[in-house]
């Protein structure tokens, strides 16, 4: 699956040394950049260590042995692969001007081997997630140092109207100088001067670190630092307690434990900052990264001072394209505590900004209602457990929960399974707004639009809970139909599920269903024949409907037409008898080599 050691890219500009990590969406290699450095004696050829990320969907890509190119198992997989590859290249432009001492620099993005590659500077060190797993919770003083550095990096990108949207310990590297470096802008978003979203990346939700507004399709279409502030607070919580906080969307019924309950050594000031950063309602959080740092008595330096301390260097060639992108880190081990959920791409019509204005009021009301209901339910059921609930493999689709690749679980772990599976977690249905000024209980299933396309009023939309319930039901129904060999029905269910939420789970199921449908089609074709003997790569067969002989390939296609009365050996080939008592001679490749032979 991996490219071989020593493999070169871009006409020997880059050479790969070895794999340093791989996951569901890519393979990361350590490599060498061959470049020239200008000096007093002229240009000197030099070798610079780098990291190179190859875009590779693990479960439905394969390596073509002769060319090292990336192949796709099915047409469905190819369409999705090409779609996300185009997005990856397009979103590379987001980071064309992001150069900061606490952000890993990216050198190049290019296409080769039927896929995309990202070249970035090589950092000697480990992620905070690795350090946490190996050494346990970090001292508060050390955590504050790293958080201040990442705070500077985030303030820098926020000033450029960019949100990172995936802050977590595995996306923060600690280099050999003990400085924090922010990586993985793969799902970041850029906003224009009117604070409207202009980029179209796939929405990614890192379990326990994503803010509640990231679960809403339109929750991040208007620029606000609040989602990154929530995630940085959740990162502090994880580093100081060793526990991943409860998912924001589940906290209404599963309250978050105070950090000091897990680690009494945490100072009250730090705990206060963590809890404020992690408020469910964005309005209750810090509104800027600078405000959060000031609350920690760590005011951010002016931008000019940050630039003076920038020791990073541009080692790209003078004529290189400035298009750059950062690579998501790949995990090769660890626990299942931290999971990444990939949601469908949020729509980007021009009307989105107008819709957002209309919905802003009731979205805030919804968040407050969730919080109030959560407090009441928590008192009734006494469920204060902070650890995330894990779905069983048969529901989540994750057959190996010990791996750390992205796992496409349902966003609400307690959602109802609607196709023949009982729901063992009966949660009270939340009250959700169905329009301005109206609050209703959600109906089961899909809300049908009345007179779609007529009038100027907005059609009612599904809530996140309804989407999860419907998505889970469609996936379960599709699995059941696939097991019953109703592949057309399963494909219909999976396609509907993809419209609600595009996940690795439903992609994998769609590909598997397509493959099983093809297997059945081949088996049905082969059932029309009686197989007699092997002939090269073919099978000599007798067609049941006519009683005539011929040969088929492994897909049931006739390579020697079944029109012959009998068949016999003819040297290394086969002699097929015609009705006129003459013979046609075929070789083992199925090629007619002699005709009209008296045998």
Written as one string, the DSSP assignment of 557-584 is -EEEEEEESEEEEETTEEEEE-TTS-EE
- Residue 195: pLDDT band (50, 70, 90) is low
Please report the beta strands in 242-338, taking only residues with DSSP state E, as ranges in sequence order.
none
Q: State residue 243's pLDDT score.
A: 95
Q: State residue 91's pLDDT score.
A: 61
Q: Which one is predicted more confidently, 329 or 98?
A: 98
Highest mean pLDDT among 87-96, 417-426, 586-595: 586-595
What percent of the chain is modeled with pLDDT above 70? 68
Per DSSP bridges, beta strands 438-440 and 529-535 are unpaired
Q: Which one is predicted more confidently, 395 or 530?
A: 530
Structure confidence by residue, pLDDT tens digits, 260-297: 999 999 999 999 999 999 999 999 999 999 999 999 98
Written as six digits, the tokens of 533 are 């003997």
What is the C-alpha to C-alpha distance for residues 79 and 82, in angstroms, rounded to an integer?
A: 5
What is the C-alpha to C-alpha distance for residues 248 and 262, in angstroms, rounded to an integer?
A: 19
Question: How many Cβ atoms are within 10 Å of 70's Cβ, its own excluded?
Answer: 22
Structure confidence by residue, pLDDT tens digits, 436-490: 333 333 333 333 333 333 333 344 567 888 888 898 999 999 999 989 999 999 9
Q: Which one is predicted more confidently, 519 or 278?
A: 278
Structure confidence by residue, pLDDT tens digits, 546-555: 999 999 998 8
What is the C-alpha to C-alpha distance for residues 380 and 554, in angstroms, rounded to an integer?
A: 62
Give the domains, in start order, of the chain with CATH numbers: 8-121 (3.30.200.20), 125-313+326-342 (1.10.510.10), 379-447+461-525 (no CATH), 529-597 (2.40.10)
Q: What is the pLDDT averaged over residues 522-551?
A: 93
Q: What is the pLDDT averaged over residues 537-547?
A: 93
What is the C-alpha to C-alpha distance for residues 250 and 412, in angstroms, rounded to an integer?
A: 7
Name beta bridge partners: 542: 530, 549
Q: Judging by beta carbons within 10 Å of its beta carbon (0-12, 13-18, 19+), is residue 436 exposed, middle or buried?
A: exposed
Among 233, 194, 228, which residue's Cα sits nearest to residue 213? Answer: 228
What is the C-alpha to C-alpha distance for residues 228 and 168, in angstroms, rounded to an integer?
A: 10
Q: State residue 439's pLDDT score.
A: 32
Counting other chains too, the contacts that 314-317 makes at CB distance below 8 Å and 24 or more residues apart are 314/99, 314/105, 315/33, 315/35, 315/37, 315/48, 315/107, 315/121, 316/35, 316/107, 316/108, 317/35, 317/36
| pLDDT at 357 exceeding the cut of 70 | no
């Amino acid at each position: 699956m991996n490219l071989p050691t020593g493999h070169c890219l871009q006409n020997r500009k880059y050479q790969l040394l070895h794999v340093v990590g791989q996951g569901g969406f890519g393979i990361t290699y350590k490599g060498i950049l061959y470049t020239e450095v200008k000096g007093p004696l002229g240009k000197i050829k030099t070798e610079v260590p780098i990291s190179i990320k190859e875009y590779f969907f693990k479960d439905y890509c394969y390596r073509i042995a002769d060319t090292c190119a990336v192949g796709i198992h099915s047409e469905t997989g190819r369409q999705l692969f090409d779609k996300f590859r185009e997005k990856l290249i397009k979103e590379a432009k987001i980071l064309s001007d992001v150069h900061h001492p606490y952000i890993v620099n990216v050198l190049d993005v290019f296409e080769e081997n039927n896929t995309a590659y990202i070249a970035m500077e090589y950092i000697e060190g480990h992620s905070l997630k690795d350090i946490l797993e190996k050494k346990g919770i970090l001292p508060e003083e050390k955590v504050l140092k790293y958080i201040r550095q990442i705070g500077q990096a985030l303030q820098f990108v926020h000033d450029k109207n960019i949100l990172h949207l995936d802050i977590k310990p595995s996306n923060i590297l600690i280099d050999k100088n003990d400085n924090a470096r922010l990586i993985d802008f793969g799902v970041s978003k850029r906003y224009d001067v009117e604070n409207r979203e202009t980029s179209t990346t796939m929405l990614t939700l890192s379990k326990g670190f994503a803010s509640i507004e990231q679960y809403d399709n339109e929750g991040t279409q208007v620029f606000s630092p609040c989602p990154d502030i929530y995630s940085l607070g959740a990162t502090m919580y994880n580093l100081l307690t060793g526990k991943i906080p409860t998912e924001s969307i589940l906290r209404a019924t599963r309250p978050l434990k105070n950090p000091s309950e897990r680690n009494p050594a945490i100072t009250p000031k730090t705990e206060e900052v963590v809890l404020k950063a992690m408020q469910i309602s964005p309005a209750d959080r810090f509104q800027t990264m600078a405000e959060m740092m000031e609350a920690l008595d760590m005011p951010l330096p002016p931008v000019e001072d940050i630039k003076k301390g920038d020791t990073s260097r541009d080692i790209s060639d003078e004529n290189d394209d400035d298009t750059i992108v950062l690579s998501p880190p790949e995990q090769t081990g660890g626990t299942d505590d931290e999971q990444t959920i990939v949601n469908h791409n949020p729509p980007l019509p021009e009307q989105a900004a107008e819709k957002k204005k209309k919905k802003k009021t009731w979205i805030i009301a919804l968040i407050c209602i969730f919080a109030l209901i959560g407090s009441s339910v928590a008192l009734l059921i006494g469920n204060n457990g902070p650890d995330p609930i894990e779905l069983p493999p048969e529901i989540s689709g994750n057959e190996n929960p010990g791996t750390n690749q992205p796992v496409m679980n349902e966003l609400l772990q307690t959602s109802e399974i609607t196709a023949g599976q009982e729901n063992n977690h009966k949660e009270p249905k939340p009250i959700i707004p169905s329009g301005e000024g109206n609050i209703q209980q959600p109906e089961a299933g899909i809300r049908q639009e009345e007179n779609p396309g007529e009038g100027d009023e907005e059609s009612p939309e599904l809530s996140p809970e309804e989407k999860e319930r419907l998505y889970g039901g469609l996936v379960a129904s599709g699995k059941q139909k696939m097991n019953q060999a109703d592949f057309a029905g399963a494909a219909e269910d999976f396609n509907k599920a993809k419209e609600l939420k595009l996940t690795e789970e439903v992609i994998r199921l769609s590909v598997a269903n397509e493959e099983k449908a093809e297997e059945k089609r081949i088996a049905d074709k082969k059932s029309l024949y009686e197989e007699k003997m092997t002939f090269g790569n073919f099978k000599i067969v007798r067609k049941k409907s006519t009683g005539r002989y011929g040969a088929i390939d492994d897909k049931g296609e006739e390579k020697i037409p079944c029109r012959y009365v009998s068949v016999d050996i003819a040297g290394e080939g086969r002699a097929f008898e015609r009705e006129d008592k003459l013979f046609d001679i075929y070789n083992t490749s199925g090629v007619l080599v002699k005709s009209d032979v008296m045998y």
